[in-house]
């Protein structure tokens, strides 16, 4: 369970939505078709965009032309969040012509989201072999190792990534996660501290490095340091449910029960499927005589646990 709690969001958009209008404007279609595509994309009418691209790909006069449009459709479906359609579009495009590095990476990310680890690993390994000096692909291979609990290999890959890009906070954060799960909490703490320091220098810091540091410090019973780290995470993203949950546990351990209950409630309000928050809230409410709220919290905990895949 700890790995699932600490990993954070697995996949961020591989191709940012703002890059797709340029691809639409530069595709080989007629000007009026490109204008319709651009207008539909700007309106977030992704289904319309996909329909046009599918129709035109089927009518394309060359395999390369069809591949261009199907790859573009895959990128649009990825942004739309339909990973099945994205993967299918990329697969069709790749059968007709080689994909660009960016499209192969987006395809890999769609496969990761679908849980097709072997196929994702195949794409990422190919990209890494083609561009061995680019840390992005090795980073995601390390993430796949982590997800599959191959922690020693994940640690080795994250260290290689750091050697290539010593200023990348996510690489240190990933290293900390893998070291922690490999049973090396002191080394993990040092990696998280480096991740947090580098993360603070970003224009838009991520909440995950301080969250992951705080969750580790909580387990190590370094409560004040854990509280500080988790509050930092919530400054970056006040809606991060796991940070609220772990802050609640920290505050409860510090004897601040009222504040802890507030954090458990905040976790539930932002992400109702965080089962642990219901259970912790139920225990704390029962301890303070809030019988009805405790009953409700335990009922929700049992409900979500029954619905959760085993």
Summarised one tens digit per residue, pLDDT across range 180-205 is 999 999 999 999 999 999 999 999 99
- For every residue of 8-34, DSSP letters joined together read --S---SS-GGGHHHHHHHSSS-HHHH
Q: Do domains 16-99 and 238-310 have the same CATH topology?
A: yes
> For residue 222, how far is the Cα from the chain centroid?
27
pLDDT at residue 262, rounded to an integer = 98
Q: What dihedral do alpha carbons 199, 205, 209, 211 form, nearest 10°?
A: 140
- CA-based angle 204:210:215, to the nearest 5? 150
The structural domains of the chain, with segments of one domain joined by +, span 16-99, 238-310
Q: Residue 115 burial by CB count (10 A; 0-12/13-18/19+): exposed, middle or buried?
A: exposed
pLDDT at residue 102, rounded to an integer = 93
Question: How far is it, in rounded angstroms, from Cα 254 to Cα 132?
Answer: 48
Q: Residue 24 burial by CB count (10 A; 0-12/13-18/19+): exposed, middle or buried?
A: buried
pLDDT at residue 90, rounded to an integer = 97
Residue ranges for the chain with pLDDT beneath 70: 1-18, 309-310
Among residues 205, 247, 193, 274, the alpha carbon closest in space to that of 5 is found at 274
Q: Does domain 16-99 have CATH number 1.10.490?
A: no
pLDDT at residue 138, rounded to an integer = 97
pLDDT at residue 4, rounded to an integer = 36
Residues near 167 by beta carbon (within 8 Å), at least 6 away in sequence: 198
What secondary structure letter does DSSP report for 203? S
pLDDT at residue 130, rounded to an integer = 96
Question: How far is it, in rounded angstroms, from Cα 109 to Cα 117?
Answer: 10
Provide the angle, in degrees to the nearest 10, between the axes of the packed helices 223-236 and 241-253.
160
- For every residue of 221-239, DSSP letters joined together read T-HHHHHHHHHHHHHH-TT
238-310: CATH superfamily: Tetratricopeptide repeat domain (1.25.40.10)
Residues near 27 by beta carbon (within 8 Å), at least 6 away in sequence: 34, 37, 68, 69, 72
Summarised one tens digit per residue, pLDDT across range 82-92 is 999 999 999 99
Per the CB < 8 A criterion, the answer to whether 110 and 13 are in contact is no
> For residue 102, how far is the Cα from the chain centroid?
18
Question: How far is it, in rounded angstroms, from Cα 183 to Cα 69?
Answer: 47
> For residue 291, how far is the Cα from the chain centroid?
37
Q: Residue 107 burial by CB count (10 A; 0-12/13-18/19+): exposed, middle or buried?
A: buried
């Amino acid at each position: 369970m700890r790995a699932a709690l600490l990993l954070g969001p697995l996949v961020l958009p591989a191709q940012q939505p703002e890059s797709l209008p340029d691809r639409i404007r530069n595709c080989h279609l007629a000007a009026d078709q490109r204008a319709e595509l651009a207008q539909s994309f700007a309106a977030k009418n992704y289904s319309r965009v996909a329909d046009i691209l599918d129709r035109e790909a089927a009518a394309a006069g060359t395999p390369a032309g069809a591949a261009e449009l199907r790859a573009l459709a895959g990128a649009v479906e990825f942004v739309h969040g339909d990973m099945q359609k994205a993967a299918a579009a990329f697969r069709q495009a790749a059968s007709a012509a080689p994909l660009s590095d960016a499209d192969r990476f987006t395809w890999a990310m769609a496969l990761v989201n679908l849980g097709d680890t072997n196929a994702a690993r195949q794409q990422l390994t190919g990209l890494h072999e083609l561009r061995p000096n680019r840390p992005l692909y090795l980073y995601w291979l390390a993430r796949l190792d982590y997800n599959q609990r191959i922690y020693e290999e994940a640690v080795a890959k994250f260290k290689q990534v750091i050697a290539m890009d010593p200023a990348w906070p996510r690489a240190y954060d990933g290293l900390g996660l893998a070291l922690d799960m490999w049973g090396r909490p002191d080394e993990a703490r040092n990696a998280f501290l480096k991740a947090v320091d580098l993360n603070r220098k970003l224009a838009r810091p991520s909440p995950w490095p301080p969250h992951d540091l705080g969750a580790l410090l909580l387990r190590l019973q370094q409560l004040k340091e854990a509280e500080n780290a988790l509050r930092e995470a919530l400054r970056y993203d006040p809606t991060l449910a796991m940070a609220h949950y772990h802050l609640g546990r920290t505050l409860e351990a510090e004897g601040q029960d009222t504040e802890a209950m507030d954090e458990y409630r905040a976790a539930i309000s932002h992400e109702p499927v965080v089962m642990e928050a219901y259970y912790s809230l139920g225990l704390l409410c029962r301890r303070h005589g809030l019988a009805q709220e405790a009953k409700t919290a335990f009922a929700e905990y049992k409900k979500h646990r029954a619905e959760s895949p085993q």
